[in-house]
Amino acid sequence: WIDMNELANFCPGTTCVRQSGVTCPNTGSISAITTCCLRCSGDGNKYDNPPFAINNVNSRDAIYNKGISTSALQYGNIRQYDAHNLYGITESIVTNTVQEELANKRSFVLSRSTFPGSGAHVAHWTGDNAATWNDLRWSVPTILKFGLFGIPMVGADICGFSGASNMELCARWTALGSFYPFARNHNNLEAPSQETYVWPEVTTVGQKFIGMRYRLLPYIYTLGYHAHVEGFPIARPLFMEFPTDTATYGINYQFMLGNALLVTPVVNQGATSVTGYYPAGVWYNIFDYSKISSTGRSVTTTVTLYDLPVHFRGGTILAMHQTALTSTAARLTPFDILVALPASGNADGDLYLDDGETISNPSATIVKFTASAGTFTSTVEKNDYAGAHSSLVNKVIVLGVTSSPSSVSLGSISKYDSATQRLEISLSSVKQTIDTDFTITWK
């Protein structure tokens, strides 16, 4: 974790004198340590006050606030104004490189200061947010922007970093944060405890949504693979998946997790319903499999404290594990393959597997999934990861099956629910591994 990894200074300005009545150096609380010991001035120039304003610290402070003056000269007569953003990305590159050289394994480095392209080296969190509903709301567009900046592994401090969180806020934020690419509950030393177990209601929310995150780890890991080799963000604005739907252009608080999952967070205090926009197609609730058929419209859903609408996009397929307390344990559980048939046409998806540690040219297994009315096929395109040989497929769940089939070509029918048009095909008896091609037909 590399923090404060740029030039930081709590007394900004070019001309400074000691402040009377301030004891330095400061000791004690965090707020005392960061008290400015000096009184500074001399910032009336175009580099410290450029002809534009940025929303720095939510109060449009000067661009150099809590840094050195952006008019300062670096080596080679380069102004801090032009070099400031290089600190974070260059330290990120060095830190990641050294970590991997020492351990000979992939590192995980979390950096406060980043720059477009930093995501090739480090993850990022959105900084010192507050335990407020406003900061919960703004976490979503912030994360989406960083994905577009080339930093796919990004998240906000769940429940808020500064100030006192509360049960409702933390419950809603825990549900939302479970679908951040980088999910972490984190606050400062002076704030009250806000762990998931502090409130029984939040514990229940965590069990549901963090549990679902662990089930979705194969999908999220596959998204990480695509981010690495193709540059796609993990969390995406709706307009990225639906570029011709102009209604998606102004949506700030919904997002796609990859191409398959639409997340509609509850972002307002006391809310008993949430309205989201559903682009044209078929959408299945990932928890109860209820369906929304849309031509491109807004839908209002009633929610309790324990609800957050997450919908699986018709035409997509993803692989899931069983829930577990750690990612290591989850990796050892069998796969469930979830298929969302569209109203017409085919569905597809993929799965990337490796050991999670090898740095370059890892042995990997890549599986492609396709489905249409009556048929599901799993095709292994690359099969170099030995761990895939022992990874079993527990069942295939197909959504959008309009009538109850009488037979399947592989495994057995374990359930058909006409209300949700859900067909579950158990493969537990045939010991089907994920690294072997197979096809299932039903009729």
Of the residues 6, 48, 307, 336, only one is catalytic, namely 6
The first and second tokens of residue 210, run together, are 């963090």
pLDDT tens figures, 18-44: 777 777 766 666 666 667 777 777 777
Say if 235-313 and 316-441 have the same CATH topology: yes
Residue 337: the pLDDT is 99
Q: Are 379 and 371 within 8 A, CB to CB?
A: no
Of the residues 61, 100, 128, 384, only one is catalytic, namely 128
C-alpha dist (Å) from residue 328 to 178, 210, 269, 355, 356: 18, 15, 36, 11, 10
Residue spans of the domains in the chain: they are 1-84, 103-230, 235-313, 316-441
Domain 103-230 is classified in which CATH homologous superfamily?
Glycosidases (3.20.20.80)
Decide if domain 316-441 falls under CATH 2.60.40.1180.
yes
DSSP assignment string, 119-158? GGT-EEE--S-BSSHHHHHHHHHHHHHHHHTT--SEE-EE
Q: What interhelical angle do 167-177 and 133-148 show, nearest 10?
A: 20
pTM summary value: 0.93
Residue 281: the pLDDT is 98
Of the residues 3, 101, 381, 437, only one is catalytic, namely 3
pLDDT per residue of the chain (443 residues) written in tens, 0 to 9: 999 888 888 777 777 787 777 777 666 666 666 677 777 777 778 888 887 766 666 667 777 777 888 888 888 999 998 998 899 999 999 999 999 999 999 999 999 999 999 999 999 999 999 999 999 999 999 999 999 999 999 999 999 999 999 999 999 999 999 999 999 999 998 899 999 999 999 999 999 999 999 999 999 999 999 999 999 999 999 999 999 999 999 999 999 999 999 999 999 999 999 999 999 999 999 999 999 999 999 999 999 999 999 999 999 999 999 999 999 999 999 999 999 999 998 999 999 999 999 998 889 999 999 999 999 999 999 999 999 999 999 999 999 999 999 999 999 999 999 999 999 999 999 999 999 999 999 99
Residue 263: the pLDDT is 99
128 an active-site residue?
yes
C-alpha dihedral over 14, 20, 26, 30, to 10 degrees?
Answer: -80
For every residue of 333-371, which 3-state class applies, written as one string? CCEEEEEECCCCCCEEEEEEECCCCCCCCCCCEEEEEEE
Decide if domain 235-313 falls under CATH 2.60.40.1180.
yes
d(C-alpha 80, C-alpha 330), whole Å: 47
350 an active-site residue?
no
